[in-house]
A and B are shown apart, each in its own frame.
Chain A
Amino acid sequence: MTGVRTLLIALGLAAAAVTGVLAAGEGTAPSPAFRQWPGECVADAPFMRRNHMDLLKHQRDDTVHGGIRPANHSLNACVTCHAVKGDDGHPVTVADSRHFCRTCHDTTAVRVDCFSCHTSTPGVAK
């Protein structure tokens, strides 16, 4: 009986430890690149982490169908501001694991489809 009780207590402690780790993990930034990003985004980082895809999708429909092209929620604006320079001094494409979008998307294992059509590097939009 003592053995069973000890086992239960051990399991309980282990579960508490795991929960603690998860809770601690939730509050931290998912990638170093994200945390260290200089400058300000169109909204604060926690909001953007959760909602950037909704902002982009909302903007996408407005732009394609209505021709509404404000600068701050466009994908071009994202990749221009968040460009990561490679060894050659030029911004890296999404094929490079250092690309801003990939740092998080690789971690969370979410495939990003945008760049099968859109360019992943900054450029002068015409």
Chain B
Amino acid sequence: MKDVKTPPSAEGRGDTVSRRSLLGAALAAVTLAPGITLYAGPAAAAADGAKRWGLLIDTTRCDSGCSACVTACGAEHGWSDAGRARPDQAPQWVRKVDVRDPATGRTASLPIMCQHCAKPPCVDVCPTGASFKRADGIVLVDRHICIGCRYCMMACPYKARSFVHEPVTGQRPGSPRGMGTVEACNLCVTRVDAGGRPVCVDACAGAGRSAILFGDLDDPGSAISRRIREVAPARIRDDLRLDTGVYYQGI
């Protein structure tokens, strides 16, 4: 058994099932259902440390009257239609904010969601490790170990996270969410893992604006990296040096 390779993630998690029994399960699964393997190869590991996913939002194309991205996000993740006792506790995975420069009077409208910081303060303060950053830069809440203390909500300078106060039913299959845990934009991690784009990007394009660009910030040849070099976009509260993954052009 010593030279049998087990998946690296089986280590150090305190799993009660032994490696031997897991291996037995793999063999059993293969015997029972040919063609189905228990563990896919390394290609299945979607969180790739060589990538860093990010967004570039062109605020010159974004209009204060349009909230297609917010609507699409709510429908995709099932947070918009929740009736609740207190509207001020409504979840906000993404929201539209209108800003105005007092010096020039210039206005802009922009969607604000989790900025997927490279140095996320929500991860720093989380007492259980539930708030974490994936290898590819996506900042997530592991609701299995979230205790609902909401320190991360206090630490986030962008007010990106919200707390689920009431019982939830009828969740979307790819988007579990439940009472007593914190939630935020997950950059549509299920879609991204499947090779897709976040739903807000598609919704913005569908609304005829194409203001949101999604891509790999670590790839100098990607469309988003080229645009960032070209237009020198800003990042919100860049003075905090959190190295956010969401860029805004035209503010």
Interfacial residues, chain A to chain B (CB-CB below 8 A): 40-44, 47, 51, 54-55, 57-58, 60-62, 64-70, 72-73, 76, 93, 95, 116-119, 122-126
Contact, CB under 8 Å: B181 / A43? no
Contact, CB under 8 Å: A61 / B13? yes
B104 interfacial by beta-carbon distance below 8 Å: no
Contact, CB under 8 Å: A117 / B143? yes
Contact, CB under 8 Å: A69 / B46? yes
User: Which stretch (B14-22, B112-120, B210-218, B226-234) binds chain A?
Assistant: B14-22
B190: nearest residue on chain A (CB-CB)? A126
Q: List 7 A-B contacts (CB under 8 A).
A: A42-B36, A43-B29, A64-B144, A65-B47, A68-B40, A117-B176, A122-B173
**A-contact 0/1 string along B22-51, CB 8 Å cutoff:** 101100110011001111100011110000
Interfacial residues, chain B to chain A (CB-CB below 8 A): 7, 9-10, 13, 15-17, 21-22, 24-25, 28-29, 32-33, 36-40, 44-47, 76, 132, 134-136, 140, 142-144, 167-181, 189-191, 193-194
Contact, CB under 8 Å: A72 / B171? no
Interfacial chain A residues near B170, Cβ < 8 Å: 119
Interfacial chain B residues near A93, Cβ < 8 Å: 169
SS class, residues of chain A in contact with chain B: loop
Closest chain-B Cβ to A103's Cβ sits at a distance in Å of 20
Closest chain-A Cβ to B220's Cβ sits at a distance in Å of 23
Closest chain-A Cβ to B181's Cβ sits at a distance in Å of 7
Point out which of A41, A65, A76 has the most chain B C-beta atoms below 10 A from its C-beta: A65
Contact, CB under 8 Å: A72 / B16? no
Closest chain-B Cβ to A81's Cβ sits at a distance in Å of 12
A114: nearest residue on chain B (CB-CB)? B176
For the complex, what is the distance from the CA of A73 to the CA of B190, rounded to whole Å?
Answer: 16
For the complex, what is the distance from the CA of A111 to the CA of B76, rounded to whole Å?
Answer: 29
Among B16, B25, B46, B167, which residue has its beta carbon within 8 angstroms of that of A68? B46
Contact, CB under 8 Å: B38 / A58? no
For the complex, what is the distance from the CA of A29 to the CA of B81, rounded to whole Å?
Answer: 41
Closest chain-B Cβ to A56's Cβ sits at a distance in Å of 10
Contact, CB under 8 Å: B25 / A55? yes
> If the complex has contacts A119-B173, A126-B190, A126-B191, are A72 and B140 also in contact, measured as CB distance less than 8 A?
no
> If the complex has contacts A47-B25, A118-B176, are A73 and B38 also in contact, measured as CB distance less than 8 A?
yes
For the complex, what is the distance from the CA of A36 to the CA of B26, rounded to whole Å?
Answer: 24
Interfacial chain A residues near B178, Cβ < 8 Å: 116-118
Contact, CB under 8 Å: B174 / A54? no
Closest chain-B Cβ to A90's Cβ sits at a distance in Å of 12
Contact, CB under 8 Å: A119 / B172? yes
Interfacial chain A residues near B181, Cβ < 8 Å: 117
Among B143, B144, B179, B189, which residue has its beta carbon within 8 angstroms of that of A67? B189
Closest chain-A Cβ to B136's Cβ sits at a distance in Å of 8
Closest chain-B Cβ to A6's Cβ sits at a distance in Å of 47
B143: nearest residue on chain A (CB-CB)? A117
For the complex, what is the distance from the CA of A57 to the CA of B14, rounded to whole Å?
Answer: 10
Interfacial chain B residues near A69, Cβ < 8 Å: 44, 46, 190, 193-194
Interfacial chain B residues near A72, Cβ < 8 Å: 29, 33, 36, 38
> If the complex has contacts A66-B46, A67-B46, are A58 and B142 also in contact, measured as CB distance less than 8 A?
no
For the complex, what is the distance from the CA of A95 to the CA of B232, rounded to whole Å?
Answer: 53
Contact, CB under 8 Å: B132 / A76? no
> Given A69-B44, A117-B143, 15 more contacts at CB 8 Å?
A42-B36, A55-B17, A55-B25, A58-B10, A61-B9, A66-B47, A70-B38, A70-B44, A116-B178, A118-B176, A123-B172, A125-B174, A125-B190, A126-B76, A126-B191
